[in-house]
Each structure stands twice: as C-alpha cells, then as structure tokens.
A = this chain, B = another copy of it.
Amino acid sequence: MADSFEQWPADIAFGLLGDLIGYAIRRAQIGIYKDFDASVTGLTPPLFAALILIDANPGINQSRLGQVMGVNRAAMMALLDRLSALKLVRRVPSPSDKRANVLQLTALGQKCRAEASAEVRAHDARIARNLTTAELKTLRRLLKKF
C-alpha cells in the first residue's frame, strides 16, 4: 500500500541519519502519530495531553501547563482557545493570584477525556504489540535518560 509508513525501508540509504539516536526516536514517532490520528477521533495528541494534565492537576494555571508541555505562553493560549471553543476546558480566575487563570475541565471535557482515554489506551497497546513487558520497562527506563 502506498499510504502505509515503512519504518526503515530496505532499499533506502539513510547515511548519517542511521547513526543518530535522535532520528531513530523520530522515526518511531512518525508511525505512532499516524496510528494516534487514525485511532482517536476529534483530538490531537497535544489536546489530549492537555485534557489529562488539567484533570490530574487541579488548580494548575496556563503558564505552568505550558512549561510542563514544553511550549510557551502564546502557544498555550492557542491550544486552550481551541479546547475552550470545543467547550472542553474553562478558564477560572485564580482566587490566590489575580493575574492567573485556573484551568478546569467542563462536564463535556470530562466525558471527552474519558472516551478518548479508552481509545488512546487501545492505540498504545497496539503500537506496543511487538514488545514484551520487560522490553517496555527497559525502554521506559532508557527514555528517561534524555
């Protein structure tokens, strides 16, 4: 099939790329993202991550969430504007800091988070289907070293 992604096609020379651990991680990621998009309806990976993090960290504000996700405040704004337009997330004025907003999931946001979580669990199990439990544990340990 022309649209299936082949991780390391045998007929292609990768040159320096074949030596780079960063590129090996990137190639794994390409396939994982394609499976995520095909598996999870209506949410992108960053949107899903934001829903989980907001739910798991009551009282978190925009700037802190941006730091955690590795993006700056302006990028976080765009992401939250989208979640807000989808009626999944609410900005609530912080009681302790008049500059800040506290982020909360709406009832719809909770429902969406729960439904997407099931799809994402299935997706993650599918991409990891060729690894044993021990291999997954090793992989997780090694990835923490970056």
Chain A residues in contact with chain B, CB under 8 A?
Answer: 2, 5-9, 12-17, 19-32, 34, 36, 45, 49, 52-53, 55-57, 67-68, 70, 117, 120-121, 123-124, 127-128, 130-131, 135-136, 138-140, 142-146
Contacts of A120 in B (CB 8 A): 16, 20
Q: Do B55 and A9 have beta carbons less than 8 Å apart?
A: no
Known contacts A9-B68, A121-B16, A140-B21: A28-B135 contact under CB 8 Å = no
Q: Is the CB of B24 within 8 A of A32?
A: no
- Asked if A25 contacts B25 (CB within 8 A), the reply is yes
Bound together, the chains give a CA A30 to CA B66 distance in angstroms of 13
B128 touches A21 (CB 8 A): yes
Contact A131 B117 (CB under 8 A): no
> Which residue of B19, B21, B53, B136 is within 8 Å of A139 (Cβ)?
B21
Residue with the greatest number of chain B CB neighbours at <10 A, chosen from A12, A16, A135, A140 = A16
Contacts of A19 in B (CB 8 A): 121, 124
A40: shortest Cβ distance to chain B, in Å?
Answer: 11
Closest to A55 in B: B15
List of B residues within 8 angstroms of A36 by Cβ: 22
Selected from B7, B12, B145, the residue in CB contact (under 8 A) with A53 is B12
Contact of A32 among B17, B22, B57, B123 (CB under 8 A): B22
